Amino acid sequence: MQKLVEIVAGVTDGSLTATAVLEEHLGRIQARESEIHAFNLVTADQARETATKIDADVKAGKKVGALAGVPIALKDNMCTRGIETTCSSKILQGWKPPYDATVVTKLRQAGAVVVGKTNLDEFAMGSSTENSAFGPTKNPLDISRVPGGSSGGSAAAVSAGFAAASLGSDTGGSIRQPAALCGVVGVKPTYGTVSRYGLVAFASSLDQIGPFTSDVRDAATLLEVISGHDPMDSTSIPQAATSLVSVLEHGVKGMRIGRVTDLPEGCEPDVLARLEAAFDALRKAGATIVDVKLPSLQYCLTAYYLIAPAEASSNLARYDGVRYGNRVEAADLNAMYAATREAGFGEEVKRRIMLGTYALSAGYFDAYYGKALKVRRLISDDFARAYKDVDTILTPTSPSTAFKFGSKTDNPLAMYLCDVFTIPTNLAGHPAMSVPFGVGADSMPVGIQVLATTMGEQAMFKVAAELERAS
């Protein structure tokens, strides 16, 4: 399958056409989408129009963008003007946003070809896509296993070759964990790097958009395009995009890489073995491995499951049958609200709304939400201490490889534990990415997570590129 950078080079110099590249991807979708279900919607007609226009521009000698002709899939929680955006929820089924998310505008301006909207856990709450109201996505490498979540459709789309790249959102691990489980690269940038304008909000202080690609260079290329200040997002960092492709060949000589000595328990031994192999590879490439302690790591999962639901309970209040999406008629206004939300939301979304409402209620605010914010501060302090000694930190992305359908659905806590290594970075606002690094005992891919401090993307990409070379 072609890399994003090869497609751009070929389409730009005329040795490839955007149309031919698109048809190849649509062919793979045609062949396998019915078994994988990566998409809620395939936008083949619009994609063909875009590809035709790009080819015409190239022929006419016009300058084309940095993603010319690249087939890209979008998680179905990013607004696309006039194109259904559902968050894999019945409450938004059929909703067509009146505007494009900033990332979508940037992709279109760069010449990307949007091939469709990908499946997710409803409102991005979950780790397997089993919470989608429209049925789960299958892992293209073994369809008896989950692709991870919540951006499972975006990860599967790249893994199956349905798109050269895709975008996901990551609130507690939803880009990195599915990337790890599907054997692709997934990046959660520093909070504020990529505009959230037009991303349907889950937990606003944690949500970030980022890329899925089949290799590190493609991820760097795509992230450079979607990053940068956006006045439409008040949390957007007023700074130009960081140059990433330029550092990929720098190597890791002299870099200091953190090994966490108090990693939370519960990681599979085959995954831990890959982590050790990653440290060995970096050591061989000239890096120094340094022990670091992150004592508050063990409290992060608990803090996240108070903070994220608290924010979600507020963000999801807007789905009331009046302003957005679907309505179930009832005798009076309150009954209409209740009937709409009862019918529109799935079980996990309701669980989060109730958890969050409880955590924010007057009598419990200090004990739960307030306490969770204190843990959030502690983990930031832990990281700040660690990053005095190291440039990046390495952990597994996920405690296990892709698991079987149904194996965690009866136990929300077991599902939540999938994100034990990814959540701390969201709480701190830091960047982190998952790079495929070999396979586990079941021959399924293992992802290694590279973490860095705020705006530390260059160091993170240097290490990721080295791991990719070593694997």
Least separation in angstroms between residue 310's CB and ligand GLN is 12
Whose structure tokens read 């599915």? 178
DSSP string, 226-257: HBS--TT-TTS-SSPPPP-GGGTTS--TT-EE
Q: Is 400 a catalytic residue?
A: no
Comparison of 107 and 301: residue with beta carbon closer to ligand GLN: 301
Whose structure tokens read 């359908």? 405
Token duo for residue 226: 């979607």
**Amino acid identity, position 275:** L
User: Smallest Cα–Cα separation from 21: which of 152, 137, 111?
Assistant: 111
Q: Is 443 a catalytic residue?
A: no
Comparison of 47 and 301: residue with beta carbon closer to ligand GLN: 301
Least separation in angstroms between residue 198's CB and ligand GLN is 16
Chain residues binding ligand GLN by CB under 6 A are 124-127, 150, 170-174, 202, 308, 419
Least separation in angstroms between residue 278's CB and ligand GLN is 23
DSSP string, 390-445: -SEEEEESSSSSPPBTTSSTT-HHHHHGGGTTTHHHHHHT--EEEEEEEE-TTS-E
Q: Which residue is nearest to ligand GLN (CB)?
A: 174
Least separation in angstroms between residue 164's CB and ligand GLN is 23
CA–CA distance, 285 with 146 (Å, rounded to integer): 34
Catalytic residue among 127, 150, 236, 400: 150
Least separation in angstroms between residue 188's CB and ligand GLN is 8
CA–CA distance, 74 with 165 (Å, rounded to integer): 9
Q: Is 388 a catalytic residue?
A: no
Least separation in angstroms between residue 447's CB and ligand GLN is 15
CA atoms within 13 A on the CB side of 185: 26
Comparison of 171 and 454: residue with beta carbon closer to ligand GLN: 171
Whose structure tokens read 């599967």? 156
Residue 304 near residue 172 (C-beta atoms within 8 A): yes
Comparison of 69 and 153: residue with beta carbon closer to ligand GLN: 153
**If you count DSSP H runs as helices and E runs as strands, how many of each does the chain have, helices first?**
15, 11
Comparison of 110 and 308: residue with beta carbon closer to ligand GLN: 308
Bridge-partner residues for 185, per DSSP? 213
CA–CA distance, 467 with 386 (Å, rounded to integer): 21
First to last CA, the chain: 18
**Amino acid identity, position 122:** E
**Amino acid identity, position 468:** E
Catalytic residue among 127, 169, 174, 227: 174
Whose structure tokens read 């520093």? 190
Comparison of 65 and 148: residue with beta carbon closer to ligand GLN: 148
Least separation in angstroms between residue 178's CB and ligand GLN is 9
Hey, which residues are catalytic here?
75, 150, 174
